[in-house]
Amino acid sequence: MLKVGDVLKNIEAIDYSSEGLGVAKFEHYTLFISSLLKGEVGDVEILYFKGKDIAFAKTKKIHKFSPHRITPLCPIHSACGGCSFQTVTYEEELNIKRDKVKKDLLKIAHIDFEVKDVVGMKNYHHYRNKIEIPIKEDKRKKCLIYGLYRKNSHDIISFSHCLLAKECLEVALAKVVDILNNYRVKAYDEQRHDGFIRHLVLRANERDEMMLTIVTKDDNIPQLDKIVKDIVSNVPNIKSIVLNIQDKKSNVILGEKERLLFGDKYLSVQLLNNKYEVSSKSFLQVNYLMCEKLYTRAIELANLSKDDVVLDAYSGIGTIGLSVANKVKHVYGVEIVKDAIEDANMNVKINNIGNASYVCGDAREYMLNYRDIKFDVVFVDPPRKGLSSSFIDSLLKRKPKKIIYISCNPSTLARDLAILKDKYNIEAIEPFDMFPRTYHVETIVGLILKK
Ligand code: SAH
């Protein structure tokens, strides 16, 4: 029986897990090992178990190195865990991601269909347009510190440069924390459930203009007016400051209540042919360049015509549907977050679109409530948990001639395709690297109704 702390010698990684860990077999155990690439042999230390047969381990020493191994550029990459592929060439990362999509489709859905090479980025760093940074108190220095969570914990590891974030965001972050420290603002204390600052959220548009959301436990931060003035005069390009109150004991970053402290309630973002206003609680793809590439390909695959009625399901602020409105008869959209739908309807107006209607609600209920609309083409872009089975049932009953499935999780994509494939033929499976250096991969699947 293995125990925590045991060191196993000469373990060979034979594959990658869906989170980019090395996978190895030892007796009846499956080991998931950090920092061991496929084909590498090393000594590994057992960290913890999941059930009787699965153990997580870290690499102590490598005896045989992979030709794809490179030296990581970030000093905290192994502690932070945000980047799973810092030690692998980018080319190999794209291969691993393609294999993952292929494997999930085969294993979960028995789909053996050509998965295209992953569309990657030329410059694959500093693409993230949004950062959500936890703030804590350094008890010794009596000041606020910021950082990234250590893997599987709530400890903070300080960083000054993150390879994924747009550079303007980390410059702004450092300045905002300095200013908060000048005013001796207290951080939120998880244990005592008191204090103020919990997170700082920064989102930038493609011109590096930014929205800052200060997430606080209580609304009454001392000298808040002065703090806001200082931020505005010292942090260039801050166009909006929002105070978000999260007074619950919760891991959810944003609370319900918000108050505008400075500037516009929205950040303006240009994507393809439209301008979008996005408010702090709305979802927006984190990588503009890849988002435009992905949308462009999804729209091509949809092969739209002037008579088509389109559904943009899981629409966020309407970016997919509104990009195609000028090509079709009507666009309907549904999204569960109220603020995102308010943004979507404003985006309909500011882009002078006369043929789009977005409503707030659960995608599944929407299908039941709007039974009379005949959709020709449906775009679905669900969160990681994929489509609900009743939403899929409704799709199968209503039989749109095309479904374009945009997925951020190959396993739930495979699960859903296993059902959809009875009535739909697969036309294309094309992964896009929306999140370079992390284990996440986005995939577009084009589906055509069988005759
Ligand atoms: N298509 C958009 C958003 C994709 S993210 C874009 O490209 O930007 C997925 C979206 O689904 C999120 O905005 C989330 O709020 C929404 N969502 C999650 N569960 C939902 C549900 N049950 N019904 C409708 N929308 C949902």
What does the pLDDT profile of the chain (451 residues) look like in tens digits? 999 999 999 999 999 999 999 999 999 999 999 999 999 999 999 999 999 999 999 999 999 999 999 999 998 888 888 899 999 999 999 999 999 999 999 999 999 999 999 999 999 999 999 999 999 999 888 999 999 988 778 888 988 899 999 999 999 999 999 999 999 999 999 999 999 999 999 999 999 999 999 999 999 999 999 999 999 999 999 999 999 999 999 999 999 999 999 999 999 999 999 999 999 999 999 999 999 999 999 999 999 999 999 999 999 999 999 999 999 999 999 999 999 999 999 999 999 999 999 999 999 999 999 999 999 999 999 999 999 999 999 999 999 999 999 999 999 999 999 999 999 999 999 999 999 999 999 999 999 999 9
Do 307 and 205 fall into the same domain?
Answer: no
Which string of b and e fits 181-207 if b means at least 16 CB within 10 Å? Answer: eeeebbbbeeeeeebbbbbbbbbbbee
Instruction: For a ligand 1 pocket test, name from 267, 274, 283 the mutation site with the most ligand atoms within 8 angstroms of its C-beta.
Output: 283
Cβ of residue 375 lying under 6 Å from some atom of ligand 1: no
Query: 347 exposed, middle or buried (CB, 10 Å; 0-12, 13-18, 19+)?
Result: buried
Do 291 and 170 fall into the same domain?
Answer: no
Q: How far is the CA of 316 from the centre of ligand 1 (A)?
A: 5
- 193 is a domain residue: yes
* Rounded Cα–Cα distance for residues 290 and 274 (Å): 16
* Rounded Cα–Cα distance for residues 319 and 257 (Å): 25
Q: How far is the CA of 131 from the centre of ligand 1 (A)?
A: 19
Looking at the CA of residue 337, tell me the nearest atom of ligand 1. 15
Domain that holds residue 192: 130-271
Do 112 and 135 fall into the same domain?
Answer: no
| Residues with catalytic roles | 408
- 279 is a domain residue: no
Do 307 and 410 fall into the same domain?
Answer: yes
Instruction: For a ligand 1 pocket test, name from 129, 252, 254, 315 the mutation site with the most ligand atoms within 8 angstroms of its C-beta.
Output: 315
Q: Which CATH number covers residue 252?
A: 2.40.50.1070
Q: How far is the CA of 381 from the centre of ligand 1 (A)?
A: 7
CB 46 within 8 A of CB 60: no
Cβ of residue 381 lying under 6 Å from some atom of ligand 1: yes
Instruction: Report residue 156 CA to chain centroid gap.
Output: 21
**Domain count of the fold of the chain:** 3
Which of 259, 261, 228, 224 lies closest to 245, judged by CA?
259
Do 217 and 299 fall into the same domain?
Answer: no
Q: Whose CA is nearest to atom 1 of ligand 1?
A: 315
Looking at the CA of residue 340, tell me the nearest atom of ligand 1. 13
Do 184 and 158 fall into the same domain?
Answer: yes
Do 265 and 298 fall into the same domain?
Answer: no
Last residue of a domain, one of 271, 303, 325: 271
- 433 is a domain residue: yes
Q: How far is the CA of 336 from the centre of ligand 1 (A)?
A: 7
